[in-house]
């Protein structure tokens, strides 16, 4: 695993693949030791570790692991460069930005809506219906979530109203995509425009200039009994919104459903080869309807988290592209719940960091928000392994 | 069923590898053949009808609302009986409508050109953004240049910026097969945040005016780079020459597509990439070229707004901008044809200006509410257009009424197939 071994003998004492991963790890460590709490104030150790990471990458490259090898080389250089930059900046600033427990807690907060959206996207696309309308379904959930919570004076009923509204919008997408065999991307974009217009219209018509009231019922936070008392871990993950926990459970549940249950297998078969699925007696139409509607309800849950969980109010177009980041997480995570969770956490982390970076550079922090989209571009370019959508995604199905 | 004619084939969409060849262009080609001008008109009417229901259900009067919006568009200027005072207002409003129509034509073309090659360019908004950034940068620098070269330089910079931005998606599609929908969506947001960074407080392109250091806005475009105003008062946002540039672009679009080898190849790839490849056309080269041309249109749109009436980029305006996204509705309603796009752009341009804070009478309908109405109508139009099956069914039923030359054998075959 270590680079020392990697350079020691050309015999297969260590697999090139492991050397690649090790190199990536070393690159991260190189930066990590220059940040709080370790705070090594001289760049030399980081540079040494960075060089080792590059060496491990080169070894992995020689062994034929192209992507991992380059990954390790990039990680080594970036880690060392980051560490050098960190040692040059003030300790106070660093401590302001990098408080790991707070960063992790913020990452979870930012990732939650993305996770819900991504789960929705996976369900729909695995059934063969491309869903670029996630943004609109999320926005609908955000508005109707707080609208319902305000009118019915209960966060739970508000959540249900939001999900129902998302499901209705998803039903429209399903009807056009399945029955009318519409182009799914066009229909999805229509959903986004409709959601933007309808939520903005009702919001202004009902609340006017005042905006949503301050005392709307909010989704409660839930503390983990034992975990919250553990020093570092407690600050990071001891307490979070109920919906954050549901999102995390949802990832596991969807993974089990898709890959360990007969119904999940049927759903995937409809997305991969609908004709074959129909031949063995699975109703393609019904499966896709259920999947798309579930997708809308899930995405709407993510939106409702924004309005009645996170912020406590609504404003026009409040999702501001989060639905598209969720779509990016689906692709980045290769249409798998676990992968999408990892992507959502990565994107959430970049948002959390962007909130704190203004200490260093206010405008630079803004640029940081583009990171999820740039990473996804790199991912679809095939640099980090090929991401492959379900075979029949986007193709209307006609029964014979 | 397998012997179905091409219009039907485009819709059949069998599961399996062959189905990948059913491009949006092929579907829409079937649609264009079938619908003529009646279907787009019906589409728009249906969208307005549903939006009217929304107005009615929320307790307003749809008739007076639509009338107020119509008066806000200034299109009543063409009526000879409009009296002198109203006529002045109408002229001002019509100038606004045409100012907004110019970039809409261009972003519409940016989407339409891609559709004709079987690509869905959702990235018009991002390409428009980079166009505005390039235009504002060039337009506010080089203040001592003579007027015409300065304007041309700014326009070219914006056009090239848009072309390069969209070209990224084209290259990704041609080389590694990355789906252009995904890459253009991502490029939109990258462009969005890049602009929010460039003109932010202490951003690299924030204004250099000492009095405005707390305002996240770019420098003002120099007088030498402003497009000349030919109707109305330049101080009151009179109509600039951008509308003619946009109409020239419509002509260019038509000539490239219908009267050039490139256009023939583009359409061939759009209708069936596999057949085009078999016929010796480089599909990848066409993808890159088409995306670059699309980006050029959208980037040009950005320069029209910056050099014509906005004169600066403010980070607050970036999230509000919808010109690129409206281009999707414009192109789809215009059936991806040159003339159709121009007409559809006028419709949406009129809607935007008719529902704007400046033009709509707030005593009758709240402008902020009305601008959401525009978004609803935009969504409805796109939704209805997406369901080409409805239209084809209607047209099949009504073929006797809508009969077109050359359609007869097609219809006969279909009867057999059914």
Query: What confidence category does residue A385 fall into, taking pLDDT thresholds of 50, 70 and 90?
Result: low
Pick from B174, B182, B192, B378 the residue to mutate for testing the A interface (most A CBs within 10 Å). B182
Q: What is the pLDDT of residues A65-118, one digit of tens each?
A: 777 888 888 888 888 888 888 777 777 777 777 777 888 888 899 999 999 999
pLDDT > 70 in chain B, percent: 84
Q: What is the mean pLDDT of residues B321-328?
A: 90
Cβ-contact A382, B178 below 8 angstroms: yes
Chain A residues closer than 8 Å to B366 by CB: 204
Chain A residues closer than 8 Å to B181 by CB: 132, 185
Res. B412: pLDDT tops 60: no
Which pLDDT does position B28 carry in this prediction?
61
Query: What confidence category does residue A333 fall into, taking pLDDT thresholds of 50, 70 and 90?
Result: confident
Which pLDDT does position A182 carry in this prediction?
83
Which pLDDT does position B30 carry in this prediction?
59
User: Which of A39-53, A239-253, B19-33, B402-416 is predicted with the least confidence, judged by mean pLDDT?
Assistant: B402-416
- What lies within 8 Å, CB to CB, of B248 at 6+ separation is none
Q: What is the pLDDT of residues B1-32, one digit of tens each?
A: 333 333 333 333 333 333 344 565 666 665 55
ipTM of the predicted assembly exceeds 0.95: no
Token pair belonging to A52: 């080792």
Q: Nearest 5°: CA angle at B265, between B262 and B270?
A: 125
For residue B359, which phi and psi values (nearest 5 degrees)? Answer: -105, -25
Nearest to B108 by CA among B262, B296, B334: B334
How many other CB atoms are found less than 10 A from the CB of residue A4? Answer: 10
Q: Is A239 strand, coil or helix?
A: strand
Bridge partners (DSSP) of residue A239 are A223
Cα distance between residue B127 and residue B323, in whole Å: 11
Which pLDDT does position B6 carry in this prediction?
36
Helices H / strands E in chain B, number of each:
18, 2
Helix or strand run (H / E) with residue B292? helix B283-305
Between residues B130 and B318, the one the model is more confident about: B130
Greatest mean pLDDT range, B35-39, B327-331, B392-396: B327-331
pLDDT > 90 in chain A, percent: 36
To the nearest whole angstrom, how far is the Cα of A154 from the nearest Cα of chain B? 25
Query: What confidence category does residue A137 fall into, taking pLDDT thresholds of 50, 70 and 90?
Result: very high
Q: What is the mean pLDDT of residues A292-298?
A: 96
Q: Which of B182, B325, B372 sits opposite A204 (nearest CB)?
A: B372
Contact call for B120 and A367, based on CB within 8 A: no
- What lies within 8 Å, CB to CB, of A283 at 6+ separation is none
Query: What confidence category does residue A165 fall into, taking pLDDT thresholds of 50, 70 and 90?
Result: very high
Give the largest CA-CA distance in chain B.
77
Q: Which of A183, A363, A373 sits opposite B201 (nearest CB)?
A: A363
Res. A396: pLDDT tops 90: no
Res. B395: pLDDT tops 50: yes
Greatest mean pLDDT range, B49-63, B159-173, B214-228: B159-173
How many other CB atoms are found less than 10 A from the CB of residue A99? Answer: 17
Q: What is the pLDDT of residues A316-332, one digit of tens each?
A: 889 888 998 899 899 88
Nearest to A307 by CA among A210, A218, A206: A218
Q: Which of B194, B202, B386 sits opposite A186 (nearest CB)?
A: B386
Nearest to A125 by CA among A311, A394, A352: A394
Helix or strand run (H / E) with residue B231? strand B229-231
**What single DSSP character describes residue B198?**
H
Res. B181: pLDDT tops 80: yes
Between residues A95 and A155, the one the model is more confident about: A155
Which pLDDT does position B392 carry in this prediction?
63
pLDDT averaged over every residue in chain B = 83
* Cα distances (angstroms) measured from residue A19 to each of A53, A64, A382: 9, 11, 22
Chain A residues closer than 8 Å to B372 by CB: 196-198, 200-201, 204, 316
Res. A8: pLDDT tops 50: no
User: Which of A306-320, A360-374, B287-301, B345-359 is predicted with the least confidence, judged by mean pLDDT?
Assistant: A360-374
Q: Which of B20, B202, B387 sits opposite A180 (nearest CB)?
A: B387
To the nearest whole angstrom, how far is the Cα of A72 from the nearest Cα of chain B? 23
To the nearest whole angstrom, how far is the Cα of A338 from the nearest Cα of chain B? 21
Query: What confidence category does residue A340 fall into, taking pLDDT thresholds of 50, 70 and 90?
Result: very high
Which pLDDT does position B29 carry in this prediction?
62
Res. A341: pLDDT tops 90: yes
Which pLDDT does position A3 carry in this prediction?
46
Q: What is the mean pLDDT of residues B123-139?
A: 95
Q: Nearest 5°: CA angle at B96, between B95 and B102?
A: 90
Residue of A nearest to B388 (CA): A182
Contact call for B54 and A201, based on CB within 8 A: yes
Residue of A nearest to B377 (CA): A194
Residue of A nearest to B369 (CA): A201
Res. A134: pLDDT tops 90: yes
pLDDT averaged over every residue in chain A = 85
Q: Judging by beta carbons within 10 Å of its beta carbon (0-12, 13-18, 19+), is residue A47 exposed, middle or buried?
A: middle
Cβ-contact B219, B210 below 8 angstroms: no
Query: What confidence category does residue B211 fall into, taking pLDDT thresholds of 50, 70 and 90?
Result: confident
Res. A201: pLDDT tops 80: yes
Q: What is the mean pLDDT of residues A191-216?
A: 89
Q: What is the pLDDT of residues A350-380, one digit of tens each?
A: 888 887 777 677 777 788 888 888 888 887 7
Res. A5: pLDDT tops 50: no
Cβ-contact A150, A214 below 8 angstroms: no
User: Which of A252-256, A381-385, B268-272, B295-299 is predicted with the least confidence, judged by mean pLDDT?
Assistant: A381-385
Nearest to A389 by CA among B182, B72, B275: B182
């Amino acid at each position: 695993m270590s680079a020392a071994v990697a350079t020691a003998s050309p015999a297969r004492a260590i697999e090139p693949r492991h050397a690649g991963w090790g190199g990536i790890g070393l690159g991260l460590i190189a930066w990590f030791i220059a940040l709080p709490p370790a705070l090594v104030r001289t760049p030399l150790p980081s540079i040494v570790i960075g060089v080792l990471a590059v060496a491990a990458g080169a070894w992995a490259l020689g062994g034929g692991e192209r992507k991992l090898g380059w990954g390790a080389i990039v990680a080594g250089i970036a880690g060392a460069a980051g560490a050098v930059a960190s040692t040059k900046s003030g300790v106070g600033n660093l401590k302001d930005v990098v408080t790991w427990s707070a960063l992790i807690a913020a990452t979870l907060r930012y990732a939650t809506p993305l996770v819900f959206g991504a789960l929705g996207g996976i369900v729909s696309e695995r059934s063969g219906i491309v869903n670029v309308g996630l943004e609109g379904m999320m926005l609908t959930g955000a508005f109707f979530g707080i609208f319902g919570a305000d009118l019915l004076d209960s966060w739970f009923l508000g959540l249900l109203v939001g999900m129902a509204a998302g499901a209705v919008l998803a039903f429209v997408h399903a009807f056009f995509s399945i029955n009318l065999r519409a182009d799914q991307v066009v229909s999805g974009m229509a959903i986004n425009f409709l959601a933007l217009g309808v939520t903005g219209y009702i919001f202004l018509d009902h609340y006017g200039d005042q905006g949503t009231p301050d005392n709307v019922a909010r989704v409660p936070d839930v503390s983990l009994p034992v975990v919250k008392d553990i020093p570092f871990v407690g600050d990071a993950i001891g307490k979070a919104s109920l919906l954050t926990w549901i999102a995390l459970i949802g990832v596991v549940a969807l993974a089990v459903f898709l890959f360990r249950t007969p119904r999940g297998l049927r759903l995937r078969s409809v997305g991969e080869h609908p004709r074959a699925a129909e031949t063995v007696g699975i109703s393609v139409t019904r499966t896709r309807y259920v999947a798309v509607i579930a997708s809308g309800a899930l995405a709407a849950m993510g939106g409702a988290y924004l309005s009645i969980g996170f912020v406590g109010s609504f404003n026009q177009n409040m999702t501001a592209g989060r639905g598209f980041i969720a779509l990016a997480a689906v692709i980045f995570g290769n249409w798998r719940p676990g992968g999408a969770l990892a992507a959502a956490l990565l994107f959430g982390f970049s948002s959390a960091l962007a909130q704190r970076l203004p200490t260093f550079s206010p405008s630079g922090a803004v640029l940081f928000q583009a990171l999820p989209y740039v990473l996804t571009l790199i991912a679809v370019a095939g640099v980090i392994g090929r991401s492959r959508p379900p075979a029949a995604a986007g193709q209307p199905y006609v029964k014979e | 069923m397998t012997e179905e004619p091409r219009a039907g084939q485009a819709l059949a969409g069998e599961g399996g590898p062959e189905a990948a060849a059913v491009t949006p262009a092929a579907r829409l080609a079937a649609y264009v053949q079938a619908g003529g001008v009646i279907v787009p008109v019906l589409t728009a009417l249906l969208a307005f009808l549903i939006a009217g229901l929304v107005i009615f259900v929320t307790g307003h009067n749809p008739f007076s609302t639509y009338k107020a919006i119509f008066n806000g568009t200034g299109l009543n200027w063409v009526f000879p009986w409009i009296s002198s005072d109203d006529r002045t207002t109408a002229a001002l409003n019509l100038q606004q409508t045409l100012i907004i129509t110019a970039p809409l034509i261009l972003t519409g073309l940016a989407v339409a050109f891609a559709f004709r090659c079987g690509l869905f360019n959702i990235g018009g908004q991002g390409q428009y953004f980079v166009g505005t950034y390039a235009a504002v940068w060039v337009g506010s620098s080089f203040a001592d240049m003579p007027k015409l070269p300065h304007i041309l330089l700014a326009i070219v910079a914006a056009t090239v910026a848009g072309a390069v931005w969209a070209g990224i998606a084209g290259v990704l599609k041609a080389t590694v097969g990355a789906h252009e929908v995904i890459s253009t969506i991502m490029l939109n947001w990258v462009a969005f945040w890049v602009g929010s960074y460039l003109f932010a407080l202490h951003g690299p392109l924030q204004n250099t005016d000492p009095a405005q250091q707390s305002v996240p806005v770019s420098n003002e475009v120099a007088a030498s780079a402003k497009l000349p105003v030919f109707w109305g008062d330049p101080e009151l946002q009179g109509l600039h020459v951008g509308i003619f540039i946009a109409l020239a672009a419509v002509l260019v679009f038509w000539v490239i597509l219908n009267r050039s080898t490139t256009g023939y190849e583009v359409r061939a790839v759009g209708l069936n990439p596999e057949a085009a490849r078999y016929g010796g056309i480089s599909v990848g080269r066409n993808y890159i070229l088409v995306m670059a041309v699309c980006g050029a249109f959208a980037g040009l749109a950005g320069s029209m707004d910056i050099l014509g009436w906005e004169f600066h980029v403010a980070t607050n305006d970036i999230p509000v901008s919808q010109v690129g996204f409206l281009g999707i509705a414009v192109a789809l309603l215009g059936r991806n044809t040159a003339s159709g796009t121009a007409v559809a752009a006028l419709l949406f341009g009129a809607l935007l200006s008719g529902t704007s804070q400046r033009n709509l009478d707030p005593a009758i309908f709240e402008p902020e509410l009305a601008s959401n109405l525009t978004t609803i109508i935009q969504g409805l139009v796109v939704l209805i257009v997406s369901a080409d099956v409805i239209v084809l069914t209607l047209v099949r039923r009504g073929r006797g009424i809508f009969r077109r030359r050359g359609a007869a054998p097609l219809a006969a075959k279909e009867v057999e197939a059914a």
